[in-house]
Structure 1
Amino acid sequence: MLLNKIIEDEMFFHHYQPIYNLKEDRITGYEVLLRSTDFSNPETVFFTAQQEKRLYELDSRSIHKAILTYQTAGFSKKEGHLFINIFPSTLLNNKFPSFIYNIMNDGLLTNQQIVFEISEREKISDVNLLKETLHHFKKLGFQFAIDDFGKGYADIEKIIELEPDYLKLDKYFSENLHSSKKKQVFIKNILRYCNHFNIELILEGLENSLDLSISKKLGIPLGQGYKLGRPNLLSV
Protein backbone atom coordinates (compact mmCIF):
# COMPACT_ATOMS: atom_id res chain seq x y z
CA MET A 1 0.00 0.00 0.00
CA LEU A 2 1.35 3.44 -0.94
CA LEU A 3 0.61 5.08 2.43
CA ASN A 4 2.59 2.37 4.24
CA LYS A 5 5.65 3.02 2.07
CA ILE A 6 5.34 6.80 2.48
CA ILE A 7 5.28 6.48 6.27
CA GLU A 8 7.68 3.61 6.85
CA ASP A 9 10.22 4.59 4.18
CA GLU A 10 9.67 8.31 4.85
CA MET A 11 8.97 9.01 1.21
CA PHE A 12 8.42 12.68 1.86
CA PHE A 13 10.48 15.82 2.29
CA HIS A 14 9.90 19.41 3.40
CA HIS A 15 9.86 22.88 2.01
CA TYR A 16 10.56 25.80 4.32
CA GLN A 17 8.91 29.20 3.91
CA PRO A 18 10.48 32.22 5.61
CA ILE A 19 8.59 34.32 8.15
CA TYR A 20 9.77 37.92 8.24
CA ASN A 21 10.03 40.55 10.94
CA LEU A 22 8.38 43.34 8.91
CA LYS A 23 9.79 46.19 10.98
CA GLU A 24 13.39 45.01 10.78
CA ASP A 25 13.08 43.35 7.34
CA ARG A 26 14.78 40.14 8.44
CA ILE A 27 13.90 36.46 8.63
CA THR A 28 12.77 35.43 12.08
CA GLY A 29 11.95 31.80 11.32
CA TYR A 30 10.55 29.28 8.85
CA GLU A 31 7.32 27.34 8.50
CA VAL A 32 7.72 23.67 7.62
CA LEU A 33 5.56 22.31 4.79
CA LEU A 34 5.43 18.60 3.98
CA ARG A 35 5.84 17.55 0.35
CA SER A 36 5.71 14.18 -1.43
CA THR A 37 6.27 13.30 -5.07
CA ASP A 38 3.58 10.62 -4.70
CA PHE A 39 0.82 13.14 -3.91
CA SER A 40 0.24 16.39 -5.80
CA ASN A 41 -1.64 17.84 -2.81
CA PRO A 42 0.05 17.34 0.58
CA GLU A 43 -3.32 17.51 2.35
CA THR A 44 -4.24 14.28 0.58
CA VAL A 45 -1.44 12.49 2.43
CA PHE A 46 -2.76 13.57 5.82
CA PHE A 47 -6.37 12.89 4.87
CA THR A 48 -5.45 9.36 3.79
CA ALA A 49 -3.51 8.82 7.01
CA GLN A 50 -6.53 9.98 9.01
CA GLN A 51 -8.78 7.55 7.18
CA GLU A 52 -6.32 4.71 7.79
CA LYS A 53 -5.84 5.71 11.46
CA ARG A 54 -2.12 6.32 10.92
CA LEU A 55 -2.09 10.09 11.33
CA TYR A 56 0.11 10.08 14.43
CA GLU A 57 2.75 7.96 12.69
CA LEU A 58 2.87 10.30 9.70
CA ASP A 59 2.75 13.49 11.77
CA SER A 60 5.47 12.45 14.22
CA ARG A 61 7.80 11.12 11.51
CA SER A 62 7.30 14.33 9.55
CA ILE A 63 8.11 16.45 12.61
CA HIS A 64 11.30 14.51 13.34
CA LYS A 65 12.52 14.67 9.75
CA ALA A 66 11.71 18.39 9.48
CA ILE A 67 13.68 19.21 12.63
CA LEU A 68 16.61 17.02 11.56
CA THR A 69 16.75 18.67 8.12
CA TYR A 70 16.65 22.14 9.65
CA GLN A 71 19.47 21.32 12.05
CA THR A 72 21.59 19.48 9.47
CA ALA A 73 21.40 22.43 7.08
CA GLY A 74 22.74 24.69 9.83
CA PHE A 75 19.65 26.88 10.01
CA SER A 76 19.02 26.15 13.69
CA LYS A 77 22.02 28.32 14.59
CA LYS A 78 21.15 31.36 12.50
CA GLU A 79 17.46 31.63 11.64
CA GLY A 80 15.63 31.24 14.93
CA HIS A 81 12.17 29.72 15.21
CA LEU A 82 10.87 26.70 13.35
CA PHE A 83 7.09 26.71 12.89
CA ILE A 84 5.80 23.14 12.69
CA ASN A 85 2.23 22.22 11.77
CA ILE A 86 0.78 19.67 14.15
CA PHE A 87 -2.59 18.00 14.57
CA PRO A 88 -4.36 18.33 17.94
CA SER A 89 -4.62 14.53 18.16
CA THR A 90 -0.83 14.28 17.82
CA LEU A 91 -0.32 16.63 20.76
CA LEU A 92 -2.80 14.59 22.80
CA ASN A 93 -1.33 11.22 21.86
CA ASN A 94 0.22 9.51 24.89
CA LYS A 95 3.35 8.72 22.84
CA PHE A 96 4.05 12.36 21.97
CA PRO A 97 5.75 13.57 25.19
CA SER A 98 8.47 10.90 25.09
CA PHE A 99 8.82 11.39 21.33
CA ILE A 100 9.48 15.12 21.59
CA TYR A 101 11.67 14.75 24.69
CA ASN A 102 13.92 12.33 22.79
CA ILE A 103 14.29 14.84 19.96
CA MET A 104 15.25 17.59 22.39
CA ASN A 105 17.70 15.29 24.19
CA ASP A 106 19.39 14.64 20.85
CA GLY A 107 20.22 18.35 20.77
CA LEU A 108 18.67 19.01 17.36
CA LEU A 109 16.97 22.22 18.51
CA THR A 110 16.23 23.99 21.75
CA ASN A 111 12.68 23.94 23.09
CA GLN A 112 12.48 27.72 22.67
CA GLN A 113 13.06 27.46 18.91
CA ILE A 114 10.00 25.32 18.21
CA VAL A 115 6.59 26.83 17.53
CA PHE A 116 3.85 24.27 17.02
CA GLU A 117 1.09 25.48 14.69
CA ILE A 118 -2.23 23.92 15.65
CA SER A 119 -3.64 22.55 12.39
CA GLU A 120 -7.13 23.67 11.40
CA ARG A 121 -7.60 20.49 9.37
CA GLU A 122 -8.70 18.51 12.42
CA LYS A 123 -11.48 19.45 14.82
CA ILE A 124 -10.44 19.87 18.46
CA SER A 125 -12.42 17.23 20.34
CA ASP A 126 -11.57 18.41 23.87
CA VAL A 127 -10.53 22.05 24.20
CA ASN A 128 -9.87 21.81 27.95
CA LEU A 129 -7.60 18.79 27.59
CA LEU A 130 -5.69 20.45 24.77
CA LYS A 131 -5.37 23.61 26.85
CA GLU A 132 -3.84 21.62 29.73
CA THR A 133 -1.46 19.88 27.33
CA LEU A 134 -0.32 23.17 25.78
CA HIS A 135 0.22 24.66 29.23
CA HIS A 136 2.48 21.73 30.14
CA PHE A 137 4.64 22.13 27.03
CA LYS A 138 4.73 25.93 27.39
CA LYS A 139 6.30 25.52 30.82
CA LEU A 140 9.07 23.55 29.09
CA GLY A 141 9.73 26.41 26.67
CA PHE A 142 7.75 25.35 23.59
CA GLN A 143 5.54 27.92 21.88
CA PHE A 144 2.27 27.58 20.00
CA ALA A 145 0.44 29.29 17.14
CA ILE A 146 -3.15 29.30 15.97
CA ASP A 147 -3.01 28.77 12.21
CA ASP A 148 -5.28 30.36 9.57
CA PHE A 149 -7.20 32.53 12.03
CA GLY A 150 -10.39 33.88 10.49
CA LYS A 151 -11.02 30.79 8.41
CA GLY A 152 -12.99 28.62 10.87
CA TYR A 153 -16.11 29.13 12.96
CA ALA A 154 -14.41 28.24 16.27
CA ASP A 155 -11.50 30.68 15.92
CA ILE A 156 -12.60 33.05 18.68
CA GLU A 157 -12.83 30.20 21.17
CA LYS A 158 -9.36 28.98 20.18
CA ILE A 159 -7.63 32.32 20.68
CA ILE A 160 -9.31 32.90 24.08
CA GLU A 161 -9.01 29.39 25.53
CA LEU A 162 -5.69 28.19 24.10
CA GLU A 163 -3.75 31.43 24.75
CA PRO A 164 -1.38 31.14 21.76
CA ASP A 165 2.03 32.78 21.52
CA TYR A 166 1.43 33.50 17.83
CA LEU A 167 -1.71 34.20 15.82
CA LYS A 168 -1.51 33.60 12.07
CA LEU A 169 -4.11 35.56 10.12
CA ASP A 170 -5.52 33.69 7.12
CA LYS A 171 -4.39 34.90 3.69
CA TYR A 172 -7.92 36.19 3.06
CA PHE A 173 -6.99 39.28 5.07
CA SER A 174 -3.91 40.08 2.99
CA GLU A 175 -5.68 39.84 -0.37
CA ASN A 176 -6.21 43.43 -1.60
CA LEU A 177 -5.55 44.66 1.92
CA HIS A 178 -4.30 47.98 0.55
CA SER A 179 -7.75 48.79 -0.87
CA SER A 180 -9.98 47.30 1.83
CA LYS A 181 -10.71 49.63 4.75
CA LYS A 182 -12.80 46.90 6.39
CA LYS A 183 -9.87 44.49 6.47
CA GLN A 184 -7.55 47.23 7.73
CA VAL A 185 -9.90 48.12 10.59
CA PHE A 186 -10.40 44.45 11.47
CA ILE A 187 -6.65 43.85 11.57
CA LYS A 188 -6.10 46.93 13.75
CA ASN A 189 -8.56 45.55 16.29
CA ILE A 190 -6.99 42.08 16.23
CA LEU A 191 -3.56 43.69 16.58
CA ARG A 192 -4.78 45.64 19.62
CA TYR A 193 -5.96 42.40 21.22
CA CYS A 194 -2.66 40.66 20.43
CA ASN A 195 -0.58 43.50 21.84
CA HIS A 196 -2.62 43.48 25.05
CA PHE A 197 -2.04 39.77 25.62
CA ASN A 198 1.53 39.55 24.26
CA ILE A 199 0.60 37.55 21.15
CA GLU A 200 2.72 37.93 18.02
CA LEU A 201 0.56 38.51 14.93
CA ILE A 202 1.61 36.95 11.61
CA LEU A 203 -0.13 37.90 8.37
CA GLU A 204 -0.06 35.12 5.79
CA GLY A 205 -0.42 35.40 2.02
CA LEU A 206 1.53 38.60 1.35
CA GLU A 207 2.05 38.43 -2.40
CA ASN A 208 2.55 41.98 -3.67
CA SER A 209 4.25 45.26 -2.74
CA LEU A 210 1.04 47.20 -2.05
CA ASP A 211 -0.30 44.73 0.51
CA LEU A 212 3.13 44.36 2.08
CA SER A 213 3.47 48.13 2.39
CA ILE A 214 0.12 48.64 4.11
CA SER A 215 0.89 45.72 6.43
CA LYS A 216 3.97 47.57 7.63
CA LYS A 217 1.98 50.81 8.05
CA LEU A 218 -0.62 48.99 10.13
CA GLY A 219 2.14 47.81 12.46
CA ILE A 220 1.80 44.09 11.76
CA PRO A 221 4.97 42.64 13.30
CA LEU A 222 5.43 39.47 11.22
CA GLY A 223 4.60 38.47 7.65
CA GLN A 224 4.69 35.46 5.36
CA GLY A 225 3.95 35.04 1.66
CA TYR A 226 5.35 34.77 -1.86
CA LYS A 227 6.44 38.44 -1.88
CA LEU A 228 8.72 37.70 1.05
CA GLY A 229 9.80 34.20 0.04
CA ARG A 230 8.36 31.06 -1.49
CA PRO A 231 8.46 27.64 0.17
CA ASN A 232 11.61 25.85 -0.90
CA LEU A 233 14.25 23.32 0.04
CA LEU A 234 16.89 24.56 2.46
CA SER A 235 20.25 25.33 0.93
CA VAL A 236 23.21 24.48 3.10
Structure 2
Amino acid sequence: MLTNFIRNELFSHSFQPIIDIQRWKKIGFEGLLRTSHFNNVEDVFKLAIQEKQLYELDSQSIYKAAVTYHSAGFSSKDCYLFLNVFPSTLTNANFLPFVRKISAEYAFLNHQIVFEISESEVIKDFLSFKKQIIQLRSEGFLFAIDDVGKGNSNFKCVIELEPNFIKLDQYFSNSLHKNLKKQDFIKSMIHYTDKHEIKLILEGIETEMDLAMAKYIGITYGQGNIIGSPKSLKVV
Protein backbone atom coordinates (compact mmCIF):
# COMPACT_ATOMS: atom_id res chain seq x y z
CA MET A 1 0.00 0.00 0.00
CA LEU A 2 2.66 2.54 0.99
CA THR A 3 4.90 1.69 -1.97
CA ASN A 4 2.00 2.39 -4.32
CA PHE A 5 1.16 5.57 -2.39
CA ILE A 6 4.70 6.89 -2.87
CA ARG A 7 5.23 5.68 -6.45
CA ASN A 8 1.96 7.15 -7.70
CA GLU A 9 2.30 10.33 -5.62
CA LEU A 10 -1.11 9.99 -4.00
CA PHE A 11 -0.55 13.22 -2.11
CA SER A 12 -0.28 16.94 -2.72
CA HIS A 13 0.90 19.96 -0.76
CA SER A 14 -0.65 22.98 0.84
CA PHE A 15 1.53 26.02 1.31
CA GLN A 16 1.35 28.31 4.33
CA PRO A 17 2.84 31.81 3.95
CA ILE A 18 5.63 33.12 6.15
CA ILE A 19 5.47 36.89 6.48
CA ASP A 20 7.72 39.74 7.51
CA ILE A 21 5.14 41.06 9.97
CA GLN A 22 6.94 44.39 10.42
CA ARG A 23 6.66 45.27 6.72
CA TRP A 24 3.82 42.85 5.89
CA LYS A 25 5.85 41.29 3.10
CA LYS A 26 5.75 37.60 2.15
CA ILE A 27 9.17 35.92 2.36
CA GLY A 28 8.12 32.38 1.47
CA PHE A 29 5.92 29.39 2.21
CA GLU A 30 6.06 26.17 4.17
CA GLY A 31 5.04 23.15 2.10
CA LEU A 32 2.78 20.74 4.02
CA LEU A 33 1.94 17.26 2.75
CA ARG A 34 -1.76 16.54 2.30
CA THR A 35 -3.62 13.36 1.28
CA SER A 36 -7.12 11.92 1.31
CA HIS A 37 -5.77 8.35 1.51
CA PHE A 38 -5.03 8.54 5.24
CA ASN A 39 -7.08 9.97 8.08
CA ASN A 40 -4.06 11.81 9.45
CA VAL A 41 -0.89 12.91 7.66
CA GLU A 42 1.17 11.82 10.66
CA ASP A 43 -0.07 8.26 10.06
CA VAL A 44 1.63 8.27 6.66
CA PHE A 45 5.01 8.99 8.20
CA LYS A 46 4.47 6.52 11.04
CA LEU A 47 3.74 3.79 8.49
CA ALA A 48 6.78 4.82 6.45
CA ILE A 49 8.98 4.42 9.54
CA GLN A 50 7.46 1.00 10.29
CA GLU A 51 7.96 -0.20 6.72
CA LYS A 52 11.42 1.37 6.42
CA GLN A 53 10.36 3.64 3.56
CA LEU A 54 10.76 6.99 5.30
CA TYR A 55 13.50 8.15 2.96
CA GLU A 56 11.42 7.27 -0.09
CA LEU A 57 8.40 9.16 1.22
CA ASP A 58 10.38 12.14 2.49
CA SER A 59 12.39 12.60 -0.71
CA GLN A 60 9.41 12.15 -3.02
CA SER A 61 7.43 14.68 -0.99
CA ILE A 62 10.32 17.15 -1.20
CA TYR A 63 10.59 16.69 -4.96
CA LYS A 64 6.86 17.12 -5.59
CA ALA A 65 6.66 20.21 -3.37
CA ALA A 66 9.65 21.76 -5.16
CA VAL A 67 8.18 21.08 -8.60
CA THR A 68 4.79 22.49 -7.52
CA TYR A 69 6.48 25.61 -6.13
CA HIS A 70 8.56 26.18 -9.23
CA SER A 71 5.62 25.53 -11.56
CA ALA A 72 3.57 28.14 -9.71
CA GLY A 73 6.14 30.73 -10.72
CA PHE A 74 8.02 31.28 -7.47
CA SER A 75 11.46 31.45 -9.05
CA SER A 76 12.88 34.41 -7.13
CA LYS A 77 15.68 33.63 -4.69
CA ASP A 78 13.95 35.96 -2.22
CA CYS A 79 10.89 33.69 -1.88
CA TYR A 80 11.85 30.69 0.25
CA LEU A 81 10.31 27.22 0.25
CA PHE A 82 10.40 25.65 3.71
CA LEU A 83 10.22 21.83 3.70
CA ASN A 84 10.22 19.50 6.68
CA VAL A 85 12.81 16.77 6.52
CA PHE A 86 13.80 13.98 8.88
CA PRO A 87 17.45 13.84 10.04
CA SER A 88 17.77 10.27 8.71
CA THR A 89 16.71 11.51 5.27
CA LEU A 90 19.41 14.19 5.27
CA THR A 91 22.11 11.66 6.13
CA ASN A 92 20.93 9.03 3.65
CA ALA A 93 23.62 8.31 1.04
CA ASN A 94 21.16 9.00 -1.78
CA PHE A 95 20.10 12.43 -0.52
CA LEU A 96 22.97 14.55 -1.81
CA PRO A 97 22.71 13.25 -5.41
CA PHE A 98 18.94 13.70 -5.14
CA VAL A 99 19.08 17.39 -4.20
CA ARG A 100 21.79 18.02 -6.78
CA LYS A 101 19.35 16.70 -9.37
CA ILE A 102 16.70 19.17 -8.16
CA SER A 103 19.08 22.12 -8.33
CA ALA A 104 20.23 21.07 -11.83
CA GLU A 105 16.64 20.83 -13.09
CA TYR A 106 15.26 23.99 -11.52
CA ALA A 107 17.21 27.24 -11.42
CA PHE A 108 17.55 28.96 -8.03
CA LEU A 109 15.76 26.22 -6.07
CA ASN A 110 18.92 25.27 -4.19
CA HIS A 111 19.00 28.87 -2.92
CA GLN A 112 15.28 28.89 -2.15
CA ILE A 113 14.79 25.60 -0.34
CA VAL A 114 15.02 25.75 3.43
CA PHE A 115 15.16 22.30 4.99
CA GLU A 116 13.34 22.34 8.31
CA ILE A 117 14.97 19.76 10.55
CA SER A 118 12.12 17.79 12.07
CA GLU A 119 11.98 17.52 15.84
CA SER A 120 10.14 14.19 15.67
CA GLU A 121 13.28 12.09 15.10
CA VAL A 122 16.37 11.87 17.28
CA ILE A 123 19.70 12.63 15.57
CA LYS A 124 21.68 9.44 16.19
CA ASP A 125 25.11 10.48 14.90
CA PHE A 126 25.37 14.21 15.46
CA LEU A 127 28.88 14.59 13.98
CA SER A 128 27.93 12.91 10.70
CA PHE A 129 24.73 14.90 10.61
CA LYS A 130 26.60 18.18 11.07
CA LYS A 131 29.03 17.27 8.26
CA GLN A 132 26.12 16.62 5.93
CA ILE A 133 24.56 19.98 6.83
CA ILE A 134 27.86 21.72 6.04
CA GLN A 135 28.06 19.93 2.66
CA LEU A 136 24.51 20.80 1.69
CA ARG A 137 24.95 24.40 2.80
CA SER A 138 28.05 24.68 0.58
CA GLU A 139 25.80 23.81 -2.36
CA GLY A 140 23.39 26.63 -1.58
CA PHE A 141 20.71 24.93 0.50
CA LEU A 142 19.47 26.62 3.66
CA PHE A 143 18.41 25.18 7.03
CA ALA A 144 15.97 25.86 9.81
CA ILE A 145 15.65 24.30 13.24
CA ASP A 146 11.94 23.58 13.51
CA ASP A 147 9.70 23.76 16.58
CA VAL A 148 12.39 25.09 18.92
CA GLY A 149 11.06 24.69 22.44
CA LYS A 150 9.26 21.41 21.71
CA GLY A 151 10.23 17.73 21.71
CA ASN A 152 13.72 16.81 20.51
CA SER A 153 14.60 20.25 19.14
CA ASN A 154 17.24 21.59 21.49
CA PHE A 155 19.75 24.36 21.82
CA LYS A 156 22.66 22.10 20.90
CA CYS A 157 21.27 22.11 17.33
CA VAL A 158 20.76 25.86 17.47
CA ILE A 159 24.39 26.43 18.46
CA GLU A 160 26.22 23.64 16.62
CA LEU A 161 24.38 23.60 13.29
CA GLU A 162 24.41 27.39 12.75
CA PRO A 163 20.99 27.44 11.06
CA ASN A 164 19.83 30.15 8.70
CA PHE A 165 16.46 30.18 10.45
CA ILE A 166 15.09 29.28 13.87
CA LYS A 167 11.37 28.55 14.12
CA LEU A 168 9.97 29.03 17.59
CA ASP A 169 7.27 26.53 18.50
CA GLN A 170 3.65 27.74 18.62
CA TYR A 171 3.76 27.34 22.41
CA PHE A 172 5.45 30.75 22.55
CA SER A 173 2.83 32.53 20.46
CA ASN A 174 -0.14 31.08 22.36
CA SER A 175 -1.45 33.86 24.65
CA LEU A 176 1.76 35.78 24.06
CA HIS A 177 0.00 39.10 24.65
CA LYS A 178 -0.57 38.30 28.34
CA ASN A 179 2.47 36.16 29.20
CA LEU A 180 5.46 38.24 30.30
CA LYS A 181 7.76 35.22 30.60
CA LYS A 182 7.16 34.25 26.99
CA GLN A 183 7.73 37.85 25.94
CA ASP A 184 11.04 37.98 27.82
CA PHE A 185 12.18 34.64 26.38
CA ILE A 186 11.40 35.75 22.83
CA LYS A 187 13.26 39.03 23.40
CA SER A 188 16.33 37.01 24.46
CA MET A 189 16.02 34.90 21.30
CA ILE A 190 15.76 38.04 19.18
CA HIS A 191 18.97 39.32 20.77
CA TYR A 192 20.75 35.99 20.06
CA THR A 193 19.53 35.62 16.49
CA ASP A 194 20.23 39.24 15.57
CA LYS A 195 23.77 38.93 16.91
CA HIS A 196 24.44 35.73 14.97
CA GLU A 197 22.61 36.76 11.77
CA ILE A 198 19.87 34.14 12.07
CA LYS A 199 16.29 34.81 10.99
CA LEU A 200 13.80 34.08 13.79
CA ILE A 201 10.29 32.93 12.87
CA LEU A 202 7.47 32.71 15.40
CA GLU A 203 5.09 29.88 14.48
CA GLY A 204 1.44 29.35 15.29
CA ILE A 205 0.25 32.95 15.61
CA GLU A 206 -3.51 32.62 15.79
CA THR A 207 -4.98 35.87 17.19
CA GLU A 208 -4.77 39.58 16.42
CA MET A 209 -3.62 40.32 19.98
CA ASP A 210 -0.76 37.82 19.84
CA LEU A 211 0.23 39.11 16.41
CA ALA A 212 0.27 42.68 17.72
CA MET A 213 2.43 41.66 20.69
CA ALA A 214 4.84 39.75 18.44
CA LYS A 215 5.28 42.89 16.35
CA TYR A 216 5.65 45.08 19.44
CA ILE A 217 8.43 43.02 21.03
CA GLY A 218 10.39 42.90 17.79
CA ILE A 219 9.57 39.67 15.98
CA THR A 220 10.27 40.13 12.28
CA TYR A 221 8.94 36.90 10.79
CA GLY A 222 5.70 35.15 11.64
CA GLN A 223 3.58 32.19 10.57
CA GLY A 224 0.06 31.20 11.59
CA ASN A 225 -3.56 31.11 10.51
CA ILE A 226 -4.17 34.76 11.44
CA ILE A 227 -1.46 35.61 8.91
CA GLY A 228 -2.41 33.02 6.29
CA SER A 229 -3.72 29.47 6.33
CA PRO A 230 -2.26 26.60 4.26
CA LYS A 231 -3.67 26.60 0.72
CA SER A 232 -2.90 25.35 -2.76
CA LEU A 233 -0.59 27.64 -4.69
CA LYS A 234 -1.91 29.83 -7.46
CA VAL A 235 0.28 30.55 -10.46
CA VAL A 236 1.83 33.99 -10.08
Task: Assess same fold via TM > 0.5.
Answer: yes
Offset, 1:121? 1.2
Q: Go from structure 1 to structure 2 and tell me whether the alpha carbon gap of 1:77 and 1:156 turns closer, same or farther (over 3 Å shift).
A: closer
**What is the alpha-carbon distance in structure 2 between the residues aligned to residue 75 and residue 212 of structure 1?**
26
Query: Structure 2 CA distance, aligned partners of 1:55 and 1:200?
Result: 29
Whether contact under 8 Å (1:67, 1:109) holds in the other structure is no
Instruction: Give the partner amino acid of 1:25.
Output: W
User: What CA distance in whole angstroms lies between the structure 1 residues aligned with 2:141 and 2:103?
Assistant: 11
Q: Secondary structure at the match of 1:76?
A: coil
Aligned-residue offset at 1:126: 1.1
- Structure 1 range deviating more: 113-122 or 101-110: 101-110
Cα distance, 1:79 vs. partner? Answer: 6.5
Letter of the 1:176 counterpart: S
Whole-angstrom distance in 1 between the partners of 2:104 and 2:204: 35
In the alignment, is the contact (CA less than 8 A) between 2:75 and 2:108 conserved in 1?
Answer: yes
Q: Which residue of 2 aligns with 1:138?
A: 137
Aligned partners of 1:122 and 1:71: how far apart in 2?
29
Question: Matched residues in 2 for 1:54 and 1:39: separation?
Answer: 16
Aligned mates of 1:212, 1:188 — CA distance in 2: 15
User: How many residues in Structure 1 have an aligned counterpart in Structure 2?
Assistant: 235
Give the 3-state SS of the residue equivalent to 1:235 in structure 2.
Answer: coil
Query: 1:92-138, CA deviations, whole angstroms, 9 ceiling, x for partnerless residues?
Result: 00001111111111125432111000011111111111111111111
**8 Å Cα contact 1:68-1:108 kept in structure 2:** no
1:122 partner amino acid: E
2:224 counterpart letter in structure 1: G
Q: CA deviation at 1:78?
A: 8.4
Trace 1:9-88 onto structure 2 (pairs within 5 A): 9-77=8-76, 80-88=79-87
Structure 1 residues 200 and 78: CA distance shift in structure 2, 3 A: closer
| Structural mapping, 1:117-128, within 5 Å | 117-128=116-127
User: Percent of counterpart pairs with the same letter?
Assistant: 48
- Partners of 1:222 and 1:154 lie apart in 2 by 19
AA at the equivalent of 2:176: L
**What's the counterpart of residue 198 of structure 2?**
199
CA distance in 2, matches of 1:78, 1:130: 26
Whole-angstrom CA distance in 2 between matches of 1:226 and 1:78: 25
1:140 offset after TM fit, Å? 1.5
Task: Read off the aligned partner of 1:144 and give its amino acid letter.
Answer: F
Which amino acid counterpart does residue 112 of structure 2 have in structure 1? Q
Partners of 1:231 and 1:115 in 2: CA distance: 17
Q: String of CA shifts for 1:137-172, please: whole Å, max 9, x gaps.
A: 111211100000000255111111111110000000
CA contact (8 A) 1:168 1:202 kept: yes
- Report if the CA contact (8 A) 2:70-2:106 is conserved: no
RMSD: 1.3
1:82–1:114 Cα contact (<8 Å) kept: yes
Q: Distance in 2 between matches of 1:170 and 1:107?
A: 31
SS in 1 for 2:144: strand
- Runs of 4+ displaced beyond 4 Å: none
Cα distance in 2 for partners of 1:212, 1:221 equals 11
Aligned to 2:219: 220
Structure 2 unaligned residues grouped into runs of 5+: none
Look up the SS of the partner of 2:15 in the other structure.
strand
Shift of the 154–86 alpha-carbon distance from structure 1 to 2, 3 Å rule, reads closer
2:75 match: secondary structure = helix
SS of the residue corresponding to residue 94 of structure 1 reads coil
